[in-house]
């Protein structure tokens, strides 16, 4: 009898200790686990996040110039050309700065005036299905044209754009797209566009002949397609995280030689596991290009709430420059994203596109209205406030947030893009 | 001494077990099972319930319940749901049945049928009704198999007087993020079969993704093959597709379209896309030859 008690109590206490350590592990406390050993399933996830899984740039069937190097060279010049603005000071590069990962460092971008949203990073943007925070265009070339006619951004019109091209870029344009129409030589309305926010410009547009309008549209569209050919070349370089994945896939796991420290690897483990970041930040660009409402605080409480994707669904479907429109080079069968677009408005109220996390720690602030100045604030927000059931981050400790932040730093790398031609 | 150690060990075990357990939501069930005796027929109380039709006022027992008159005004039903919301999964609810004039209805034959109006299907699991007395009936096993728009049809039959009311729940969601279940992985015994019979065995449906293994974030197409119970191909079916992640409740990120492709019971679904890794459920509804049935496929997207 006595032996029985002895043995059983011994076993019970050992089992109790085991239980405790298992539940401690479940609570995420650091044990002396090897941070660089990954299961087969985890390795598959790491591979899916690795830059080597990016694959070649997807063909854009709506833009037959998208892979044309000459178009990209012209597009680069247009990207940096600040004549394309009302005050001659705003170019695409104003809000998509080459020295700042092709975004800017402002909570709300500023072209001709302050806009209601932050500039999006253009790193690997060509892999997206939808463009802008709300996905209101379905191609990179139609996205490039949006800011030109926006009063707050470039603040000019398509007629002015055509005029500028004819004045400064005639040769490059004609080499690619054929002769610029003769009527460019005459004086024609400088500010005419199908505007809802500018009655004078709209009137001037309507007073043009259909042929004139068509010619202007063609030039405008070609400009967008050239810019898109350049923006397609903006791609991330391999980062420490990518080197780490290569090490893991090659079977290395000697702590002192790994490209990630123990803490960074712990952060990665959280990123793909308990913190569920890969629900939305998945794939080699760390984005699923889909739209989610995180319950973010509204930037300007006096303004009407930003409806995000919900307002953009109708916009993209009716945009004259979408994949199914007449300026698109695509066959209707090549426009699956548009044909099968999710039109459920209610689902997408206040939902914004998941941005890429490549080099995220190098380019504050964060979220669609720059609500957070630091990555740590973003992580704290996710942990404590996100109302979205897909996030479920409430159980993260401060130490775990430290580790996540450390991991995010390992996604930093230079960005490559087509460079200017030697003169 | 060893006896003491033994007892300490057992207590330790119990303590750890309790600590590891997730918090159970305390139901309002405790309140329910109390005696709910109340006003006799004809007596009006201060709290008037809101009904869709008529000015018949009946006492509400609980602030948070839903009340409705049946379609022919024979009965008044008070539906009480724990946590105020039906959730995807298994729900237990309570229904208090009164005559329209206020008295308890005991020993009635109560049938509760969950139904998804937009999908045109119900559920395989039948809710189980237990009478508790005083007009109170508890209903277990109300299984809502997916998120979305649900209705509960409640039929009351007593003394040859049968009447029905429908309670509408436009947005049944998966459990909220604060609920421990959110972190649970999909059930271990989940079957990932790509060929199954529909819920009422009307059709045999098989799917395959065109272009090899499904890759996340890529629009792709599926091929469906639909056969009847005799193994004959079903052409001319109307097929609808919905999908969701049961743990999230956001639906598919696209609106796929189904096309018939030739004879042989073959159909193509274009516009399939999955933007999140994990457990997805795609439900195929088939309507052919006047028969309507559906089947759900589990997928694990990597």
Q: What domains appear along chain A, each with residue ranges and CATH number?
A: 31-57+237-308+350-416 (1.10.760.10), 69-231 (1.10.760.10)
Q: Which residue has the tokens 């031609």?
A: A421
Q: Helix (H, G, I), strand (E, B), or coil: what is residue A114?
A: strand
Please determine, for residue A105, whether its predicted confidence score (pLDDT) is greater than 50: yes
Asked if the Cβ–Cβ distance from B275 to A8 is below 8 Å, we say no
Distance in angstroms (rounded) separating the CA atoms of residues B193 and A336: 27
Of A94, A116, A89, residue with least CA distance to A105 = A94
CB crowding B10-19: b at 16 or more within 10 Å, else e: eebeeebeee
CB of A25 within 8 Å of a chain B CB? The answer is no
CB of B18 within 8 Å of a chain A CB? The answer is no
Share of chain A above pLDDT 90, in %: 76
Question: Do A344 and A308 form a contact (C-beta atoms < 8 A)?
Answer: no
CB-closest option in B219, B248, B252 to A389: B248
Q: How confident is the model at residue B219 (pLDDT cuts 50, 70, 90)?
A: very high
Residue with the bigger pLDDT between B115 and B208: it is B208
What pLDDT is stored for residue A183 in this prediction? 56
Distance in angstroms (rounded) separating the CA atoms of residues A140 and A83: 21
- Rounded to 5 degrees, what angle do the CA atoms A19, A24, A28 make? 145
What ipTM was reported for this prediction? 0.82
Of B165, B160, B161, B143, residue with least CA distance to B79 = B165
**Could you report the per-residue pLDDT of B60-79, keeping only the tens digit for each?**
777 667 888 888 888 989 88
**Half-sphere exposure for B134 (CA within 13 Å, toward CB):** 10
CB-closest option in A129, A282, A386 to B277: A282
A390: chain B residues, CB-CB within 8 Å: 177, 245, 248, 250, 276
Q: Which residue has the tokens 């592990």?
A: A25
Stretch among A233-247, B37-51, B136-150 having the lowest mean pLDDT: B37-51
Residue B172's Cα: distance from chain center in Å? 8
Average pLDDT over residues A330-351: 92
* Domains of chain B listed by start with CATH number: 36-172 (2.60.40.1930), 190-301 (2.60.40.3340)
- Which residues lie closer than 8 Å to B160 by C-beta, 6 or more apart? none
CB of B149 within 8 Å of a chain A CB? The answer is no
Is the N-terminal amide bond of A365 cis, ω within 30° of 0?
A: yes
DSSP state, A131?
B
Stretch among A310-324, B31-45, B243-257, B287-301 having the lowest mean pLDDT: B31-45
How far does A4 lie from chain B, in Å, by closest CA?
A: 9
Asked if the Cβ–Cβ distance from B302 to A45 is below 8 Å, we say yes
How far does A344 lie from chain B, in Å, by closest CA?
A: 9
Mean pLDDT estimate for chain B: 78
Instruction: State the sign of the Cα–Cα–Cα–Cα dihedral B230, B231, B232, B238.
Output: positive
Q: Helix (H, G, I), strand (E, B), or coil: what is residue A351?
A: strand
What pLDDT is stored for residue B20 in this prediction? 47
Please determine, for residue B81, whether its predicted confidence score (pLDDT) is greater than 50: yes
Of B172, B166, B224, residue with least CA distance to B198 = B224
Whole-prediction pTM: 0.71
Average pLDDT over residues A13-21: 60
Of B275, B218, B219, B185, residue with least CA distance to A292 = B275
Asked if the Cβ–Cβ distance from A13 to B5 is below 8 Å, we say yes
Distance in angstroms (rounded) separating the CA atoms of residues A254 and A267: 18
**Could you report the per-residue pLDDT of A195-211, keeping only the tens digit for each?**
888 999 999 999 999 98
Residue of chain B whose Cα is closest to the Cα of A23: B20
Q: What Rg do the C-alpha atoms of chain A give, in angstroms? A: 26
Average pLDDT over residues A298-309: 85
Q: Helix (H, G, I), strand (E, B), or coil: what is residue A372?
A: strand
B2: chain A residues, CB-CB within 8 Å: 2, 5-6, 9
Of A398, A96, A160, A127, residue with least CA distance to A282 = A127
**Could you report the per-residue pLDDT of B124-168, keeping only the tens digit for each?**
778 889 888 888 898 988 878 777 788 999 999 988 889 999 998
Torsion angle in degrees (nearest 10) through CA of A302, A308, A314, A316? 130
Token pair in block for residue A74: 């012209």
Distance in angstroms (rounded) separating the CA atoms of residues A371 and A133: 14
Q: List helix spans (H) across A326-417.
A: 336-339, 375-384, 398-409
Residue A110's Cα: distance from chain center in Å? 18
Give the DSSP letter string of chain B.
-HHHHHHHHHHHHHHHHHHHSPPPPPPTHHHHTS----PPTT---S-BPP-SSS----B-S-TT-EEEE-TTSSEEEEEE-GGGS-BSEEEEEEEEEEETTS-B--S-EEEEEEEBTTTTB--SSPPEEEEEETTEEEEEEEEE-SSEEEEEEEEEEETTEEEEEEEEEEEEBPPPTTSGGGGPPSPTT----SEEE-TTSSEEEEEEETTSS--TT--EEEEEEEEETTS-B--S-EEEEEEE-TTT----SB--EEEE-SSSSEEEEEEE---S-EEEEEEEEEEETTEEEEEEEEEEE-
Looking only at the bridges linking them, the beta strands covering B161-172 and B148-158 are antiparallel
A44: chain B residues, CB-CB within 8 Å: 302
A48: chain B residues, CB-CB within 8 Å: 216, 302
Please determine, for residue A334, whether its predicted confidence score (pLDDT) is greater than 60: yes
- Rounded to 5 degrees, what angle do the CA atoms A264, A269, B24 make? 130
Token pair in block for residue A405: 């932040």
Question: Do A151 and A112 form a contact (C-beta atoms < 8 A)?
Answer: yes
Instruction: State the sign of the Cα–Cα–Cα–Cα dihedral A120, A126, A131, A135.
Output: negative
Asked if the Cβ–Cβ distance from B20 to A283 is below 8 Å, we say no
Maximal CA-CA distance, chain A: 111
- Which residues lie closer than 8 Å to B122 by C-beta, 6 or more apart? B113, B114, B115, B116
What pLDDT is stored for residue B36 in this prediction? 37
B243: chain A residues, CB-CB within 8 Å: none
Distance in angstroms (rounded) separating the CA atoms of residues A279 and A391: 8
Q: Helix (H, G, I), strand (E, B), or coil: what is residue A152?
A: coil
- Interface probe, candidates B220, B254, B271, chain A, greatest A C-beta count within 10 A: B254
Q: Edge-to-edge strands of the sheet including B195-197?
A: B195-197, B203-209, B220-228, B266-272, B257-260
CB-closest option in A10, A274, A290 to B275: A290
Mean pLDDT estimate for chain A: 89
**Half-sphere exposure for A266 (CA within 13 Å, toward CB):** 20
Q: How confident is the model at residue B87 (pLDDT cuts 50, 70, 90)?
A: confident
Question: Do B174 and A389 form a contact (C-beta atoms < 8 A)?
Answer: yes
Average pLDDT over residues A367-391: 85
């Amino acid at each position: 009898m006595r032996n029985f008690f002895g043995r059983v109590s011994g076993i019970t206490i050992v089992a109790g200790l085991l239980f405790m350590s298992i539940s401690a592990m479940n609570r995420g406390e650091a044990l002396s686990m090897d941070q660089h050993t990954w299961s087969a399933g985890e390795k598959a996830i790491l591979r899916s996040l690795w830059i080597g899984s990016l694959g070649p740039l997807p063909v854009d069937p709506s833009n037959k110039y998208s892979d044309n190097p000459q178009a990209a060279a012209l597009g680069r010049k247009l990207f940096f050309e600040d004549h394309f603005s009302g005050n001659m000071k705003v170019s695409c590069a104003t809000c998509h700065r080459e020295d700042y990962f092709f975004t800017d460092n402002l909570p709300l971008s500023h072209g001709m005036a302050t806009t209601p949203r932050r500039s999006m990073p253009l790193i690997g943007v060509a892999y997206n299905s939808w463009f802008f925070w709300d996905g209101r265009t379905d191609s990179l070339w139609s996205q490039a044209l949006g800011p030109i006619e926006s009063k707050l951004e470039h603040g000019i019109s398509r007629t002015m754009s055509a005029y500028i091209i004819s004045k400064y870029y005639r040769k490059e344009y004609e080499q690619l797209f054929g002769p610029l129409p003769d009527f460019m030589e005459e004086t024609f309305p400088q500010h005419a566009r199908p505007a809802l926010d500018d009655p004078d410009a709209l009137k001037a547009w309507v007073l043009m002949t259909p042929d004139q309008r068509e010619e202007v549209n063609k030039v405008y569209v070609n400009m967008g397609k050239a810019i898109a050919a350049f923006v397609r070349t903006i791609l991330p370089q391999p980062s420490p995280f990518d080197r780490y994945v290569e090490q893991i896939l090659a079977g290395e796991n000697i702590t002192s030689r790994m490209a990630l420290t123990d803490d960074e690897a712990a952060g990665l483990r959280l990123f793909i596991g308990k913190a569920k970041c890969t629900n939305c930040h998945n794939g080699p660009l760390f984005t699923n290009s889909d739209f989610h409402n995180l319950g973010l605080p509204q930037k300007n409480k006096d303004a009407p709430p930003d409806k995000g994707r919900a307002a953009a669904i109708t916009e993209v479907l009716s945009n004259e420059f979408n994949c199914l429109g007449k300026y698109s080079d695509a066959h209707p069968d090549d426009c699956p994203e548009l044909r099968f677009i999710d039109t459920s408005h209610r689902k997408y109220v206040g939902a914004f596109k998941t941005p890429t996390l490549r080099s995220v720690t190098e380019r504050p602030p964060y979220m669609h209205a720059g609500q957070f100045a630091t990555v740590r604030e973003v992580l704290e927000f996710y942990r404590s406030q996100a109302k979205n059931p897909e996030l479920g981050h409430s159980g993260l400790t401060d130490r775990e947030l430290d580790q996540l932040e450390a991991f995010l730093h390992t996604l930093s790398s230079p960005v490559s893009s087509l460079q200017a031609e030697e003169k | 001494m060893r006896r003491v150690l033994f007892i300490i060990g057992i207590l330790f075990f119990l303590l750890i077990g309790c600590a590891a357990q997730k918090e159970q939501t305390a139901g309002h069930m405790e309140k329910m099972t109390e005696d709910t005796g109340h006003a006799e027929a004809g007596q009006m109380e201060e709290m008037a319930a809101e009904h869709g039709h008529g000015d018949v006022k009946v006492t509400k027992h609980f602030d948070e319940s839903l009340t409705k008159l049946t379609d022919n005004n024979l009965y008044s039903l008070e539906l009480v749901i724990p946590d105020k919301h039906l959730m995807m999964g298994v729900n237990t609810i309570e229904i208090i049945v009164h005559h329209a004039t206020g008295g308890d209805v005991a020993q009635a034959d109560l049938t509760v049928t969950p139904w998804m109006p937009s999908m045109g299907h119900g559920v395989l699991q039948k809710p189980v009704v237990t009478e508790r007395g005083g007009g109170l009936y508890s209903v277990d096993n109300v299984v809502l198999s997916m998120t979305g728009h649900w209705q509960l049809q409640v039929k009351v039959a007593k003394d040859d007087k049968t009447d029905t009311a429908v309670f509408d729940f436009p947005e049944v969601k998966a459990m909220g993020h604060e609920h421990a279940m959110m972190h649970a992985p999909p059930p271990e015994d989940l079957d990932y079969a790509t060929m199954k019979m529909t819920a009422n065995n009307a059709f045999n449906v098989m799917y395959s993704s065109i272009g090899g293994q499904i890759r996340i974030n890529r629009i792709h197409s599926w091929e469906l093959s639909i056969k009847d119970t005799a193994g004959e191909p079903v052409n001319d079916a109307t097929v609808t597709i919905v999908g969701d992640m049961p743990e999230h409740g956001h639906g598919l990120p696209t609106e796929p379209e189904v096309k018939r492709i030739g004879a042989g019971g073959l159909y193509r679904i274009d516009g399939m896309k999955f933007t999140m890794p994990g457990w997805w459920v795609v439900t195929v509804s088939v309507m052919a030859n006047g028969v309507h049935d559906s089947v759900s496929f589990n997928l694990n997207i990597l």
